């Protein structure tokens, strides 16, 4: 294999640039030409590809986001759009593709793979909901950003003896909320996989004050049935009966934009190197991810058809520690 391409797709994640760097320099080291695809699958369909040199990926590891860019592309979900993408790759003589992204991105990678094109995926999403990797690129940095926000809000909550909610991202996966809540010492954690009603949340927050705490912090996943906005509204409507209301902070996309930490840079680098090595050996149609400390491949058909489980025993642990 003499010519490959790399693209980033879906939501950006801290560490993506380190993965692009690793793919590019590993490919060049193996005697390949490496093309960067700008703006994800949309750019692939449009033929927005540029040959990358080792210098083009210099000084990018510390930058958040993805310098190749990302974009939604409904057209790529169609067979016609996928065929257009394959035509663009053929025009450039590209023989293999590395796709850096989460569930939607790897679904696209799987589609190209089933059409016979050599593709290797790299697990990258702050949601950490992608099957085939215990941790994905961007998770550690996003978690530390959420943790810093929780620590700061604790100070204000203690000063005013108030209850605060912090809503974190994660779509329908509660990993970020669960881990941020445990690491941040939250009194309440609300995740989609373990639904908690507002009355139970009120009881847990009230119990924190009864135990003599100066603050009460709840960490809420955006995908929970009762997200931060709904909980604040419920508490406002029932303030006289519940005895208190809530303040909330929604972190949103702040969690994606951070400078990648050491862990994400190292993980992204390992995954980038492994992806190119698999292509070079003719091993494709897989996602490379972290499992038990090792970088291992998982077939894309398994990745896109499987749901990654969350260890709900950690909710019991969080409840004990919150006391």
CB environment 90-117: b (16+ within 10 A), e (fewer): eeeebbbbbbbbbbbbbbbbbbbbeeeb
Query: Annotated binding residue at 23?
Result: yes
Report CA-CA distances (Å) from 185 to 46, 47, 94, 147.
48, 49, 50, 10
Query: Annotated binding residue at 211?
Result: yes
Query: Annotated binding residue at 2?
Result: no
Query: Annotated binding residue at 214?
Result: yes
Q: Where are the beta strands (DSSP E) in the chain?
A: 3-8, 33-37, 49-52, 96-101, 119-123, 163-168, 188-190, 216-221, 247-250, 286-291, 294-299
Residue 202, both tokens: 């009120």
Query: Annotated binding residue at 72?
Result: yes
Cα 25 from chain centroid (whole Å): 24
Query: Annotated binding residue at 11?
Result: yes
Query: Annotated binding residue at 160?
Result: no
Task: Give 196's contacts (C-beta < 8 A, 6+ positions apart).
Answer: 188, 190, 224, 226
Sheet holding 119-123, edge to edge: 49-52, 33-37, 3-8, 96-101, 119-123, 286-291, 294-299
CA distance 51 to 35: 4
Query: Which candidate, 61, 107, 31, places its Cα nearest to that of 264?
Result: 61
Query: Annotated binding residue at 12?
Result: no
Query: Annotated binding residue at 323?
Result: no
Catalytic residue among 12, 127, 129, 140: 127
Query: Annotated binding residue at 105?
Result: yes
Query: Annotated binding residue at 103?
Result: yes
Query: Annotated binding residue at 221?
Result: no
Query: Annotated binding residue at 186?
Result: yes
Task: Give 150's contacts (C-beta < 8 A, 6+ positions apart).
Answer: 166, 180, 184, 186, 217, 219
CA distance 136 to 308: 12
Query: Annotated binding residue at 149?
Result: no
Query: Annotated binding residue at 104?
Result: yes
CA distance 109 to 280: 17
Query: Annotated binding residue at 256?
Result: yes
311 is catalytic: no
Query: Annotated binding residue at 171?
Result: yes
Sequence ranges of the binding site for ATP: 11, 72-73, 102-105
Sequence ranges of the binding site for substrate: 125-127, 162, 169-171, 222, 247, 253-256
Sequence ranges of the binding site for ADP: 21-25, 154, 185-187, 211, 213-215
Sequence ranges of the binding site for Mg(2+): 103
- Residues noted as catalytic: 127
Sequence ranges of the binding site: 11, 21-25, 72-73, 102-105, 125-127, 154, 162, 169-171, 185-187, 211, 213-215, 222, 247, 253-256
């Amino acid at each position: 294999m003499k010519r490959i391409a790399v693209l980033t797709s879906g939501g950006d994640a801290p560490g993506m640039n380190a993965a692009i760097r690793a793919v590019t320099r590993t490919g060049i080291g193996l005697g390949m030409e490496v093309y960067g695809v700008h703006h994800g699958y949309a750019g692939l369909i449009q033929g927005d590809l540029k040959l990358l040199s080792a210098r083009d990926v210099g000084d990018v590891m510390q930058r958040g986001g993805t310098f190749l860019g990302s974009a939604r592309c409904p057209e790529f979900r169609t067979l016609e759009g996928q065929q257009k993408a394959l035509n663009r790759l053929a025009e450039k003589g590209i023989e293999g593709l590395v796709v850096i992204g989460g569930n939607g991105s790897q679904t696209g990678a799987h589609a190209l793979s089933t059409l016979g094109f050599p593709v290797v995926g790299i697990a990258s999403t702050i949601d950490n909901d992608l099957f085939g990797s215990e941790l994905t690129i961007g998770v550690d940095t996003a978690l530390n950003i959420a943790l810093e926000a929780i620590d700061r809000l604790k100070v204000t909550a203690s000063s005013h003896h108030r209850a605060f909610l912090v809503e974190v991202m994660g779509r329908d996966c509660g990993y970020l909320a669960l881990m941020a809540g445990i690491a941040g010492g939250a009194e309440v954690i609300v995740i989609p996989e373990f639904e908690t009603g507002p009355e139970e949340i009120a009881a847990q927050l009230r119990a924190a004050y009864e135990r003599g705490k100066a603050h009460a912090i709840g960490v809420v996943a955006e995908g929970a049935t009762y997200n931060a906005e709904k909980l604040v509204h419920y508490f406002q409507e029932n303030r006289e009966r519940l005895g208190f209301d809530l303040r909330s902070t929604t972190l949103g996309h702040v969690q994606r934009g951070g400078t990648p930490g050491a862990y994400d840079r190292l993980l992204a680098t390992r995954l980038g190197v492994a992806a190119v090595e698999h292509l070079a050996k003719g091993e494709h149609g897989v996602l490379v991810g972290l499992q038990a400390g090792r970088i291992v491949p998982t077939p894309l058909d398994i990745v896109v058809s499987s749901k990654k489980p969350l260890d709900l025993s950690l909710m019991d642990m969080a409840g004990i520690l919150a006391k």
